[in-house]
Structure formats: structure tokens, C-alpha cells
Structure 1
């Protein structure tokens, strides 16, 4: 198997040692590699699969019986040699790499991940135990573990979400609506500044490794990614007579919807994918399961 290890950003010493002891020539990239840095993936795909005889995405979409919510399947392509890309870095780094693979239609390349953050959402979804595996063991899993077909969620900007995405209005309750497939997850028409009390603050979803594709729940307090709410924490209530202040990042565990697509619309929505905020507020965003599945090393 042809393997390329991408070391993204500054690695912890234990991972630095493990990478250099195990991999003779890792490729060093920035913390969140951009399109120019990731051109190497285009070259890698062209080297091992010069021509793809399988149906194109347009041909798949035109089929009358596309199994949109079927279980993920192995890639149909047959490269000259199996290829694996291992990303050592943050959730954002991995998302950037897989986004590039999706955009060049090279999801037949298997992907391993060595998280550098013990709170990695992707590690949780993939069952990698980011805070428990030592560097060498995590790297060995990424290099030698079996790749599993995995549902892949993307959005209308052509960006993947692998661990977690959130939609909210910075600093206050979210005015808008969120729909999963045909069911309403979230609906609110009034804006209230963060005051320490639970309320309709937006939505969070995580990809499901199998069908249908994603699971979503309402945010009951501001996102931990909401910098505006963090800058204006509510005042503590006198002697706690009215109850304690709710903490950011709260969700409603009793309200969870699963589906293959999520649509959100509202006023000045902030969208955060795998820890990276969209550069500007939007009025709408759609996430949906990609027609091809990823081939990811997970448990």
C-alpha cells in the first residue's frame, strides 16, 4: 500500500518522535493546509488511478434508484495499488484534507487520523479515543488499521463535516428554522441576548458513520464556539436564589433527529464546521450526505 503521512502544524513531542521513528519522509504542512498545499493529493490520485472507469457523480445522481440512505459501501475504484493518506493534526486539518479528496473525486483513497487534540470531535465519532491512545499506538492504528466505509456529510459550499457542526446566532438566541429531512428540529422567532438561562440557541449535528448520515439536536445554551457570548458572560445571580447560570454548550438530549440532510435558515447565522467558523454570517446553509462514501480508519 502506498502511504503518505501529512504532519499538519506543530506536533506534540510524543507524536513528533513517533512520526519520525515510523515514517521516513512525512510531508510537513501548515496547521490547516490550503488548496495549494493539498495539490499533492491531486498528483497522488492521478499517479495511482490515471483513469476512473466507474460511474461519475453526475451519472450516479441521474440514476433513478440512488439509495440515498443506504449503508456506506467500499469504493468501487481499483487503483494500481491501494493508497492511504494519514493526517496527523487537528480536526480542521483532517477536514481540509478530506474536503480536497471529495472535490477531486478521490474518496477511494483511504484516510487515517492521528488527532493532536484530546478533545477531538472526529476522534469521538470515529472511536479513536484521542485522549487515551499514546502517540505511537495512534499512529500505528492510522497506518495499519482497516478502512471502513463511512457516510460523508458535506454542505452547499463543498466543505465536509467529519466531527461536529453548529449553527447559531452569535451572542443571542437564534432566529430561524432548522429542518432534518422533512422534520422540524428548531423554530424560533425572537432574539434574546445571552442571559445565563437556557433557550433556543441553535443546533448541533454530528455525522453518523453509517446510514442515514447525521444526527442533530438543539442547542439550549450558546455554542462553546460563540465568541460574542463568551465576551459577555451573564452576571451571577444574587446568592443563587434564582438558580445557577447555565453553561455554554448545552443541548437537549431528548430531542434528536437523524437524517441524510439538514437545512437551516435565519438571521445572520454563524456556521462552525469541525472547529472552523465560516468567514461571514449566512442566511441559510444546507448539509447533506455526499453521493460517495469515505473510506476511513475507525472503530
Structure 2
């Protein structure tokens, strides 16, 4: 990045109405967080999508959604569960196609248990990757067809490289890496993972999306930026080495504090 990056934010459509002026003062990237609900995807998601299209008319930043994630893993051993996961992601891609979103966040399958045990069983690491392919093969093809990118977000990931290798294994421009700074900092503080900037270095130019949230290294806080103890200068220094132009998405619990987080980054000389 040759100049200070522009940060975007994750929010529901209700909050987009509140932060509309802020999100349009610069071409801020947006992640819509209404459509990960199975209840909505199984119900009248079309009405919510039509509302999104109306609200976002004229929005200049890139638009994505957070895909469904509750209650499943993309590496399930159960083929019936994998079928449900495929269905949910296809529904998410229906939303993306309808509203013009070209990115969908999905969750990493790697757990803390995996870190200690995948190499304890013959072929376990390769088998996990194959199960992810069985789950996502048709989903990735659909994403390619509609020009959407699936970004795989770290959750419990202790090894920042495993998810990157999983992404690379698809050999598709429609599968890329996402980092959540708070999740990485939890893994660093509570499970002995590397610091957050190491996750950025590990992803390199496969990084397409990052959730910016502050935390204390103990839990998934989703605090406003500046309220926790993440070393943001090291994170943005690592981001500054990339050419992939990842979406920098503020994802905090109290959405009313999004303007404060942007102002804090500006005051630190890290972003605008």
C-alpha cells in the first residue's frame, strides 16, 4: 500500500442507514452481516436483499457479506452435514449475486485440538483438506461463475500457515484468506500462537480481507480499536507490504463506535 488505506466496516443494514454518510464520505468497503442467519436464508431473504440494493445504490466501496457459519464446520466427516453446509453457502452466493456483492466470508475449520493432533494421525491433515474440498468444490465453482471470492477467516487457528495452504490447495482466484485480528490475538495470548502481524505475513498476497477488532488476548472481545492491547503499528506495517489490496473491515461489537474506531486509526496515522 503506497498511501494510508481506507478502512471499511461490517454492519447490518439497519446500521448502514445510521452510518450512511460515514460509509460514503470515502469509498469504504462494506461487509453486510444480515445474511449469515439460517432463519433468514430459509425465509424471505429476497426482501432483505431488495432493501440492500436500494440502500447501497451509489455506494462506491466494495461490497461483501458474512456467510453462514453457526453450527457447522466446512470439514465435517458427516456427508449429510456437508450437504447442509453446501446448501447454506449456495444460499449465501444467491444473496451475493442478487445484491452485487463479490466477497463472502466463511470460517476456518482448524481448531486448537487440530494443532496438537493433526500430525498424530496418519493422513489426518490431508484428509481434513479433502473434506473441505468435498464441502466446497461446487460452492467454489459457483463463486467463480458469479465473480465472487470466498475468504476463509481464522477462528481458533493457532498455525497461521495451515489455512493459507488450504486456500492455496483450491488453485482458484475465488478462494482467498481472511484474518480476524481479535481471533489471532486470542490464539496468541491464550494458546501460544504467533502475534497478529505474523498472520498477515503468513497470508501474504493471498490476503483478501481482514476483520479489525481490538482485544486483550484472552477472549473474542470485538472491542473498538484502541481499547485493547493489539500492536496495531506492527499489523499495519505488515499490511503495508502487500499488493493484494485486502478489504480492511472494522468488525466491533458496538456498531455505534465505528466512527470512533476510524477516528482512532486516523489519529494514529494508520488509516483513514
TM-score category (smaller protein): under 0.3
Larger Rg: 1
The normalised TM-score by structure 2 is: 0.25
**Highest RCO, 1 vs 2 (Cα 8 Å, sep ≥ 6):** 1
The normalised TM-score by structure 1 is: 0.23
Q: Tell me which protein shows more helix as a share of its residues.
A: 2
Q: Tell me which protein shows more strand as a share of its residues.
A: 1
